[in-house]
Amino acid sequence: MYHKSLFPDPPKVPESNIHHLLFNRPDQQEWPDYTLFVNAATAQRLSFREFVERVRDGATALSADVAQGGLGLRQENGELVAILSENCLVRCIPIFQSSL
């Protein structure tokens, strides 16, 4: 049996890049640089902008040519990287930085 909502269909959502949505919206430039993560063991803090820079460093390490010390991954070749983390991405980022 097929059921149709009595409400109108929601408007179409335009396609967008999740990286742009999370890290590169114009309104984010106006935000204060707030603390995003705190290491409970060391009390070390990581701000939102520091985290964004780590993400960009990781993307650079993945896409830089092998001759430059990167992994040479390319979207044009159908290559994709997915990162799963049970806690947060801060644990993954230092791995990328060591390859720069």
With respect to residue 68, please indicate whether it lies within any of the assigned structural domains.
Answer: yes
With respect to residue 25, please indicate whether it lies within any of the assigned structural domains.
Answer: no
With respect to residue 71, please indicate whether it lies within any of the assigned structural domains.
Answer: yes
pLDDT digit string, tens, across residues 6-41: 999 999 988 887 778 888 888 888 989 999 888 788
pTM: 0.64
Residue 56: the pLDDT is 86
With respect to residue 84, please indicate whether it lies within any of the assigned structural domains.
Answer: yes
With respect to residue 21, please indicate whether it lies within any of the assigned structural domains.
Answer: no
- Can you give the residue range of the structural domain that contains 93? 32-98
Q: How many domains does the chain have?
A: 1
With respect to residue 22, please indicate whether it lies within any of the assigned structural domains.
Answer: no
Per-residue tokens: 48: 């939102």
pLDDT band at 67 (very low <50, low <70, confident <90, very high): very high
Residue 95: the pLDDT is 43
Q: Does residue 39 contact residue 88 with C-beta atoms inside 8 Å?
A: no
3 state DSSP class of 45: strand
Q: How many residues does the chain have?
A: 100
